[in-house]
Structure 1
Amino acid sequence: ILETLAEAYHQAGNIEKSIKVAEQASAANPFTIKPLLLTGEIALEKGENSKALEIARKALTRDEQNVDAITFLAKVLLKKGDKAQALAALEKATAGEGATLDIMLKHAHLVREIKGVADSRAILENLVSKYPQNTELLKLLAESQWECGDKVAAEETARHSLRIDSAQPEMHGFLGKLKYEKGNLDQAIQHYSAQISLEKDQIDGYLNLARVYQQQREFHKALDTLQQAIDTNPQDIRAFLTAAGMLKDAKDYSSAEVMLRKAAAVDPKDVNIKRQLGAVIALNLVHKSQQESSQL
């Protein structure tokens, strides 16, 4: 009961009461670890990393094989910047009987950060053999395979994931990227369109789809798609800048200037926008002058 109450106080933001009740629970049962780890989590939240480390080590004196305690130790070590020791702790945690998929994924992420993507890929492939239907795991594996340069394996993993669950916008976006890189533009359009249909409030799919249309020299479709991105999120300057670049390349300097002014209104401090706007204004003046001269 005390453990549950301590958790409830913590979730409600009543930190002092949470610590007090957690300490009571820990004193009442010196073999329990959960309330002790709660006080450690609170110490971390307060930036008291050394205190959190002390609590983690105290928890491990109660049960040196406890996966939660080992994982918390790794978390504290990461906060302190000791990645090597954190990795050693997670490797111990993944070998324990209570190791969860979440712990194994944390281990894979840290391996990638310290040893590189190739070592992380090997871990992920082993996990996929144990959890072949886990789409989040398949997504991470596909990304690792792609970063290792094995695009064939990455595509097969992504397709397998979509066969399990076709309603994955990120995976459609990933396959769209692969198809675009291979020059399969029609298939890239299919995947980016699927990404947009599943994630209408995010503009990444629109930006990528516009890029494909641009590659196909279907500029009207590209600009229409960018306008949809702007309508979706008018506070994101990327669509304005992309459209401005396309219009500038098409020598429609007036329309490019309009887009850049809209971007500048969203982010008036962006030096890059100011620089591009100045260049387009100059080009527009020169272009108009040339047109007027040709009419004389």
Structure 2
Amino acid sequence: MLNPQWLRTFAALAELGNFTRAAKRLDLTQAAVSQHVRHLEDALGLLVIRRPRAIELTPAGHALLDYCDAVKQARQRLDARVSSPAEEAGEIGLITPGGIGLALFPLMLEWQAQHPQSRIRHCFAPDPEVLDAVLTNRYDLGIVTFEPDDTRLTARRFLQEPLELVVPAGATVRAWSDLQALGFIDHPDGRAMAKRLLSRRFRKNAGIGDLPRNGFSNQIAHILEFVARGLGFTVIPRYARVAFAQQDKIEVMECGSPVLETSWIIHRAEWPLPERCARAVRYLEERMKG
């Protein structure tokens, strides 16, 4: 690799055409300028022909000057990317669980429409995949349903949403036996959510493992399809239920005091979150509160 200082010296010499002027601009001795050029010529061959009043670049010298220009431009692009946090242009990568993701996705589309220089990349995934995607820098932002303790991540509360017991329209649930008769529609977080919610209403019979499992889907949009067809009940966050198109075919059963699911927004802790991402997060928070 060519020493960056030697390249700066050569570029100044090529521009000014004189060792003395190049040394003065760079605050070096003339001997130091000559030494830098000699190091480059040891690596690349003859670069400069010394004339009494000026210098002349050889073909190799012209090639090196083009290289110096390319390095300078690359450094300018790098500086622009790392030192301009307010830059709006660029991608915003967001990975979320399905329920909250269904609510956020149309809002992210609104954000992109208002900020055409931003490009949204969104993925649905369960908590473990969200953590891995953010830790491996595949996504700028993630949302998880628990506060991670990994010191490589910054996490803060994003949203709280209640869990809901959702049954087919017209179904009656008064006792644990009614749930057994309906059967449980499971999903990746289904049993954990069901245990948390149902223990409030059915304190003596919250054994989720005793319920027949009538279906499973890892696609949040498909879970309520089972319920709408009368194939069972499920427990999901409210935003996932609200996003379902066939509200007339499902019902939410009262389960007493709310059981809240807390969402945490995460990003890498070792470097600042790009301002375009931070602004998008503030927008989402404001819209979700509204």
Normalised TM-score (structure 1): 0.21
Q: Name which structure has the greater RCO, CA cutoff 8 Å, separation 6+.
A: 2
Higher strand share: 2
Normalised TM-score (structure 2): 0.22
| Higher CA-based Rg | 2
Higher helix share: 1
